[in-house]
A = this chain, B = another copy of it.
């Protein structure tokens, strides 16, 4: 057990490692996503829509752990880029249905190799990737349940 002060050093802070890793990974996406002229959060919205072509804004928000005040302007920008469309739900007049548009659908096949190109840059073994993902998912679950 180290002294308390040791944990106030940047190099001993797991949270900084997480923060730095996340930003570096997002930066790695930039050149790969540039071909499609989308940002990383926009790519995440497309990932959701590639699994289900039409879902509520609230559904995307829950999947991505984002709030409406982040997601609303994000999907509005994506609507302007003609990647998706926004329509009111008839079932629930409060709800907005986000539907994949042709341009958004076209990216799915074009970006099929993107996950591999990205992760290959990690220079990680299969075991390391699996271990890291398992730990991160556990952390996300633990932190998300608290709220």
Given the known inter-chain contacts A15-B29, A17-B140, A140-B20, please indicate yes or no for A7 contacting B132, CB distance below 8 A. no
Q: Roughly how many angstroms separate A146 CA and B4 CA in the complex, as a whole number?
A: 34
Q: List 5 A-B contacts (CB under 8 A).
A: A7-B116, A9-B47, A15-B25, A16-B44, A124-B139
Q: Which partner residue on chain B sits nearest A70 by CB separation?
A: B23
A133 part of interface (Cβ distance < 8 Å): yes
* Of A17, A19, A48, A122, most B-chain CB atoms within 10 Å: A19
Q: Roughly how many angstroms separate A115 CA and B144 CA in the complex, as a whole number?
A: 19
- Which residues of A (28-69) have their CB < 8 Å from a CB of B? 28-29, 40, 44, 47-48, 50-51, 63-65
Q: Which partner residue on chain B sits nearest A22 by CB separation?
A: B22
**Which residues of chain B are within 8 angstroms of A146 by Cβ–Cβ distance?**
121
Q: Which partner residue on chain B sits nearest A7 by CB separation?
A: B115
**Which residues of chain B are within 8 angstroms of A29 by Cβ–Cβ distance?**
15
Q: Roughly how many angstroms separate A137 CA and B65 CA in the complex, as a whole number?
A: 25
A87 part of interface (Cβ distance < 8 Å): no
**Which residues of chain B are within 8 angstroms of A8 by Cβ–Cβ distance?**
47, 50, 108, 111-112, 115
A106 part of interface (Cβ distance < 8 Å): no
Partner of A20, one of B13, B14, B65, B112: B65
**Which residues of chain B are within 8 angstroms of A131 by Cβ–Cβ distance?**
131, 135
